[in-house]
């Protein structure tokens, strides 16, 4: 029997209790706000003294993620602990779980933070993937199937937002990229004839109940998510039904408890294949903060505390625009604060800034959710917002 479950169901961590967060980025910040709105206090373990989550938490434990004394302090204070990013020490989460409820588990995070283990697990769950090969040596690349070219070489660990990835048209390019990566373990994926990407953000409760939010269609630029669209037209597709079913299968196979995102590719021939798993809330789920009855961060709180999952119902179409640091500079590279007055004059626009002091190219500074009564209206409003922000937007 799962240690989180008693004969009467999951043990409740009542409002007023302390919750722990390993990681102090913007996802942790939004978790803090959701937890505090439900009456919880939050302790954040994060080495950056000016982190987005640390400055809004009830307690900031300023120390490395694997600091034994800091982990003991977090465990002593908090009845339940979670994380906001996948590159946290899986061993630290497993250690914390000896004393406290930890969601997701260190074991699940350890699988997902390694692309080699992650892909094997997805395949075990019966979910289709792009053809790939495990690359652990130059010999593996030299012997890789020619059908994997052109492809994408991805470092097995510590890759996000397009980092640790290289498109390789030939075996020679792959060998060069492998050396540039420092010879670390990789996967080589065959490049797919991609139509577009969708993602599913879902929550799996301690009793195994699953609630999935509506699918988002995603557009990336330079490897970073730029636009997520949650349209009425997409939700009735067989792709979304299949994606939600596949995401639930992956979560069950992992024994996963918490909020999770699974990204899928829709190919030009109509097939749906899994891309990767994020063991946490996700950028493509930020629209839930304004468009849904329960947002993804509140679901994260509900899972770890044993509260019932909230409704994932979304009340209207929505588009999320990611605000990166370049929005704070003009075409000549001079600092220029975005025109917040013009942006917020657009009906249906909701602004979320992360409290980061220094805008830099590619740095996630905030996001904008745009709501509308129907697909046409929300696209019109998003186009207006993008124009104010100086962003490209394709209706």
Q: Which residues are annotated as a binding site for ATP?
A: 115, 154, 159-165, 197, 220, 275-276
- Give the DSSP per-residue string, 62-118: -S-TT-HHHHHHHHHH-SEEEES-TTS-HHHHHHHTTTSEESS-HHHHHHHTBHHHH
Phi-psi region of 162 (alpha: psi -120 to 50; beta: other; left: phi over 0): left
- Rounded Cα distance between 260 and 239, Å, is 18
- Rounded Cα distance between 92 and 214, Å, is 33
Both tokens assigned to 250: 């992956």
Q: Report how far apart, in Å, the C-alpha atoms of 38 and of each of 19, 33, 244 are.
A: 11, 9, 28
Beta-strand pair 5-6/9-10: antiparallel
Nearest CA-CA partner of 146 in 194, 192, 188:
188
- Rounded Cα distance between 155 and 11, Å, is 39
Annotated binding site: 115, 154, 159-165, 197, 220, 275-276
Per-residue burial over 376-394, b if 16 or more Cβ lie within 10 Å, else e, is ebbbebbbbbbebbebebe
């Amino acid at each position: 029997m799962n240690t989180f479950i008693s004969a009467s169901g999951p043990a409740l961590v009542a409002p007023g209790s302390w919750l722990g967060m390993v990681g102090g980025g913007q996802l942790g910040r939004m978790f803090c706000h959701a937890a505090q709105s439900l009456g919880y206090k939050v302790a954040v373990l994060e080495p950056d003294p000016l982190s987005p989550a640390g400055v809004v938490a009830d307690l900031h434990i300023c120390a490395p993620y694997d600091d034994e004394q800091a982990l003991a302090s977090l465990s002593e204070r908090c009845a339940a602990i979670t994380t906001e990013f996948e590159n946290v020490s899986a061993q630290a989460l497993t250690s914390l779980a000896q004393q406290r409820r930890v969601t997701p588990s260190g074991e699940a995070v350890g699988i997902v933070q390694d692309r080699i283990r992650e892909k094997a697990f997805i395949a075990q769950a019966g979910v289709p993937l792009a053809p790939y090969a495990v690359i652990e040596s130059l010999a593996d690349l030299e012997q890789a199937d020619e059908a994997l070219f052109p492809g994408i070489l991805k470092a097995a660990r510590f890759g996000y937002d397009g980092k640790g990835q290289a498109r390789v048209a030939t075996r020679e390019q792959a060998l060069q990229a492998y050396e540039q990566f420092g010879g670390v373990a990789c996967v080589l994926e065959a490049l797919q004839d991609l139509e577009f990407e969708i993602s599913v953000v879902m929550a799996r409760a301690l009793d195994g109940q699953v609630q999935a939010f509506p699918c988002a269609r995603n557009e990336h630029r330079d490897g970073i998510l730029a636009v997520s669209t949650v349209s009425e037209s997409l939700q009735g597709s067989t792709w979304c039904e299949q994606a939600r079913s596949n995401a639930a299968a992956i979560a069950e196979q992992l024994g996963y408890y918490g909020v999770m995102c699974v990204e899928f590719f829709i190919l030009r021939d109509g097939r749906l294949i899994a891309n990767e798993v994020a063991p946490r809330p996700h950028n493509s789920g930020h629209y839930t903060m304004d468009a849904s009855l329960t947002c993804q961060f509140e679901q994260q709180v509900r899972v770890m505390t044993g509260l019932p999952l909230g409704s994932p119902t979304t009340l209207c179409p929505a588009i999320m625009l990611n605000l990166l640091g370049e929005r704070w500079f003009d075409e000549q590279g001079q600092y220029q604060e975005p025109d917040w007055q013009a942006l917020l004059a657009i009906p249906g626009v909701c602004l979320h800034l992360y409290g980061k002091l220094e805008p830099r190219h590619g740095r996630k500074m905030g996001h904008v959710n745009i709501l509308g009564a129907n697909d046409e209206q929300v696209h019109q409003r998003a186009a207006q917002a993008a124009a104010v922000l100086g962003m490209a937007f394709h209706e």
